[in-house]
Structure 1
Amino acid sequence: MCQHQPECPTADSADREAARLVAHHPEQGWSLLCNGVLLFEDTGELLPDGQVIAPRRPLEATHVVTAA
């Protein structure tokens, strides 16, 4: 799929997110990389073979309120 020199990382490599952007739609929350990987705003991914990579962003801190 990639025609860049040097070639972008493949979709099954550990550094797949380093591939070049082909399409970027921040209003919809996703981007398509040259290697066929769909990146989502929540850091989740959809690989070309249909495999889903769960989001990796840290959970937001929650505040615990205790009664005095």
Structure 2
Amino acid sequence: MCPHQPPCPSSDDPQRDAARTLANHPEQGWSLLCNGVVVFEDTGELLPNGGIIAPHRPTDVHASSAA
């Protein structure tokens, strides 16, 4: 449970990336958020339930729409 006020978004919330960072390891390319989500520098995510979110860089949208 998140101790912050206001509480961080849960791991199943679309705004889950807005949670506070608990551990940051830029040399390894990942950070652990307060809601248990691990975010990677390529914008991929590992959810606490073992689910994954594929990388979703904003540039990917522009590249695919230009094709």
What TM-score range do you get, normalising by the shorter chain?
0.7 to 0.9
Paired AA for residue 17 in structure 1: D
- Stretches of structure 2 that go unaligned for 5 or more consecutive residues are none
Task: Please list every run of 5 or more consecutive structure 1 residues that lacks an aligned counterpart in the other structure.
Answer: 62-68
In the alignment, the residues of structure 2 paired with residue 4 and residue 56 of structure 1 have an alpha-carbon distance, to the nearest angstrom, of: 27
Rounded to whole Å, the distance in 2 between the matches of 1:25 and 1:46 is: 15
Deviant stretches of 4+, over 2 Å: none
Percent of aligned positions with the same letter in both sequences?
A: 68
- Equivalent residue pairs, number: 60
- Alpha-carbon RMSD across the aligned residues, in angstroms, is 1.1
TM-score (norm 1): 0.83
Higher helix share: 2
TM-score (ref. length: structure 2): 0.84
